[in-house]
Amino acid sequence: MFAAGLSFVAMTALVKSLGTTMNPIQAAFLRYALGLVFLLPAIPAILNTRMTRRNVTLFGVRGVIHAAAVMLWFFAMTRIPLAEVTAMNYMTPVYVTLGAALFLGEKLAIRRIAAIGVALVGVLIILRPGFREVSPGHIAMLGTSLTLGGSYLLAKVMVRDIRPSVVVAHLSIWVTVALIPFAIAVWQPPSLRDIGILFLIASFATAGHYFMTLALQAAPVAVTQPVTFLQLIWATLLGALVFHERVDMWVVSGGTLILAAVSFIAWREAVLKRTGNVPPPGSESPPSRP
């Protein structure tokens, strides 16, 4: 999970380095299109998986939702500091927990409700509405976390019938397809530098998800979740040293509060499993990434 965190922060910094040289929607499309090369080993598994009309529909809906999340995330990266993007991204598992209760019939005990309340306080600390301007970048990041939560909820439904590796592979394909019309609308010929940076972004994103998968195989989310706090530290340091962004202790405090709440939710799920009061399959919610 430590290696996954470094990979994700490197990915985020590379997106930041693109600046305004490319439209965020075009950048999002090229990130996924270039990343399709990493799906080559998964082609046999994709072809051998029997697909129903319901599966295809769910893959398509998830692709559209995740495409929206990616576009919002790339936009937010050009508008707000690295640390704020990282801290607000911690809200995704909270939305997943709420969505699982509302749509998948999972129980929402009082302790989980309290943890969600704490996470929302963390968001308010980061945004501080009334004390500073809430920019379009902040709104985009809230939308990113919400749509990523929706994407992850659909994944939890799909892994009941289809292998996780195939679900991940289809996500990359469908997101790329969903982004095509938006990318065409804003298309400008990219430079070789931009293409190289975007291929590195795709590489670090793939590496991050691979390392995260290894971590989740080796230990429960309750153990690996707290390690994701290091991402906020790396993002804060990188933003200050490389992009000359001000270190905002309110953002660090709010992000810490959100992560503490998410870690508590993961720990409670682990306790329920040990005591035999097992939540529905896939209820543990690892951190989600565009």
Q: How many Cβ atoms are within 10 Å of 246's Cβ, its own excluded? A: 10
pLDDT band, residue 289 (cuts 50/70/90): low
Cβ proximity of 101 and 285 under 8 Å: no
**132 bridge partner residues:** 129
Query: Phi and psi dihedrals of 129, rounded to 5?
Result: -60, 135
Write the CA distances from 61 to 23, 42, 47, 94, 287, integer angstroms.
Answer: 24, 21, 20, 21, 21
Cβ proximity of 82 and 245 under 8 Å: yes
Query: Which residues have a Cβ under 8 Å from the Cβ of 5 and sit 6 or more positions away?
Result: 208, 227, 228, 230, 231, 234
Q: How far apart are alpha carbons 263 and 268 in whole angstroms?
A: 9
Name the residue ranges covered by the structural domains of the chain.
2-274
Whether 280 has a pLDDT exceeding 50, the answer reads: no
pLDDT in tens, 238-264: 999 988 999 899 999 999 999 898 888
The reported pLDDT for the residue numbered 287 is: 54
Query: Which residues have a Cβ under 8 Å from the Cβ of 156 and sit 6 or more positions away?
Result: 96, 100, 104, 281, 282, 283
**129 bridge partner residues:** 132
pLDDT in tens, 85-142: 999 998 988 888 888 888 888 777 888 889 889 999 999 999 988 778 889 999 999 9
pLDDT, averaged across the chain: 87
